[in-house]
Structure 1
Amino acid sequence: MSCFVKAERYLPKDVLCTTWIQSLQHADIGSIILSSLAIKNAEDNGPTKKDPASSDTLFDGEQPSLEEIRSWGKSFDKLMRSPSGRKAFRDFLRCEYSEENILFWLACEELKKETNPEAIEEKARFIYEDYISILSPKEVSLDSRVREIVNRNMVEPTPHTFDEAQLQIYTLMHRDSYPR
């Protein structure tokens, strides 16, 4: 089963899944998000109701405004600043078989919030093993210069151990995945 068909499970019942699938195959991320939310229905009838039998919808919590969703199609930075935007982009990256990029980026954001030295070291090792190690099935694509910087930083991990790597992956997502 393709990821396009699996995407149907995220949509409220009143969304036309064929529109979602067609937009996934022929449009950019902004169009995908817009069509998946049944914007016309939301504008005509108010917000769509969640199917009580399903805990899966495209967005957790409050749905973003139409204006916010449209801004995601114009600005990658706005998409990544929005929790709902990141969720939609993560679902898109899963379809593109590159979800590890946003998972790495999110893990780095969590590390930056940490203040406890032991927790910083533990989280840094987890991030390294999951996304930097060449043995990891979720290894992100880093150039040798950045990989060397990360290896040096791992001697004494800080909340900013992966800043160079995070920036490189952010740029990769912006340049390669976002335009699709």
Structure 2
Amino acid sequence: MRRRLSHVDSKTPSPCEGSPTSPSCKRGSIPCCFCWCCCCSCSCLTVRNKEKEVCSRRASNLSTLESLQRNEESGRLTLEEASSWALSFNTLLDNPTGRDVFMEFLRSEHSDENMLFWQACKELKAEQRKAAIAEKTKQIYLDYISILSPKEVSIDATVRDTINSNMAMPTADIFDEAQAQIYALMHRDSYPRFLNSAIYQSLLQSLNAGNASQS
């Protein structure tokens, strides 16, 4: 019996045998199945893709934290200033650095189009020239209102219909209802998560540690 088993083992080809062009063979790793040509459809690649996605997100968060630390070290941000962002959503939005940090958080959640749309509407309302209003209105519509846009914001169908009907003669306040809805969405959903996020909490800890080292 031992002889038969030994004989069979010696004749069993290795996973990479006969397939010198296999990517797994070139890497020197063992594929997850006996047929190297089927490995492309195996679940192991799904796992690898997920691992790459996690690594990419970690790198993005690290880059964000490094950027925030540079702001802190340059003296442009204080603990009191950063702590005030928790007082109200308006306090956060009224602060240029606060908006930048909040934007980084939204980007990590893949919802930064909300902040971009809100800011674009704010800039539009400050515009006085009719030609510029028409141009900016068209661009905002294409970027955030059109259902074909990858950055489309989530607004009510009635509000979208009103915007569509007013696009022939746009004004600076054409997006007011949509902007109010997006503001409410960020205030209700994104803002509480931001206050508990690693980005904001790490920033507060870093600023607090900096104050402690100076005292």
Q: Which runs of 5+ in 2 are unaligned?
A: 1-54, 194-215
Listed as ranges, the matches of 1:16-165 within 5 Å are 37=69, 48-49=73-74, 63-165=76-178
CA distance in 2, matches of 1:172, 1:154: 24
Distance in 2 between residues matched to 1:85 and 1:65, nearest whole Å: 11
> Is the Cα–Cα contact under 8 Å of residues 144 and 151 in structure 2 kept in the other structure?
yes
Give the counterpart letter for 2:180 in structure 1: L
SS at structure 2 position matched to 1:176? helix
2:166, 2:85 → 1: CA distance? Answer: 33
5+ residue gaps, structure 1, are 14-35, 50-61
Structure with the largest fraction of helix? 2
1:5 to 2:41 alignment: no
Q: 2:179 aligns with which of 162, 166, 178?
A: 166
Per-residue deviation, 1:149? 2.0
Runs of 4+ with >6 A deviation: none
CA deviations over 1:116-174 (Å, ceiling 9, x no partner): 10110000000000000000000000011211221233221111110100010010011
For 1:5 and 1:95, locate their aligned partners in 2 and report how far apart those are by CA, in whole Å. Answer: 11
Q: Find the structure with the greater CA-based Rg.
A: 2
Q: Distance in 2 between matches of 1:104 and 1:66?
A: 29
User: What is the TM-score with the length of structure 1 in the denominator?
Assistant: 0.70
Counterpart residue type for residue 153 of structure 2: V
CA deviations 1:16-65 (Å, max 9, x no partner) are: xxxxxxxxxxxxxxxxxxxx659xxx9xxxx625xxxxxxxxxxxx6233
CA-based RMSD: 2.1
Other-structure match for 1:25: none
Distance, in Å, in 1 between the alignment partners of 2:162 and 2:146 is 14
Contact persistence 1:4–1:95 (CA under 8 A): no
Contact 2:64–2:104 (8 Å) recurs in 1: no
Q: Which whole-Å CA distance do the structure 1 matches of 2:99 and 2:158 have between them?
A: 28
**What percentage of aligned pairs have identical amino acids?**
53
Residues 93-124 of structure 1: CA distance to partner in whole angstroms, max 9, x if unpaired? 00001010001011111111111101100000
Q: Which TM-score applies when normalising by structure 2?
A: 0.60
**Residue-pair matches, total:** 139
State how far apart, in whole Å, the 2-side matches of 1:125 and 1:12 are.
Answer: 36
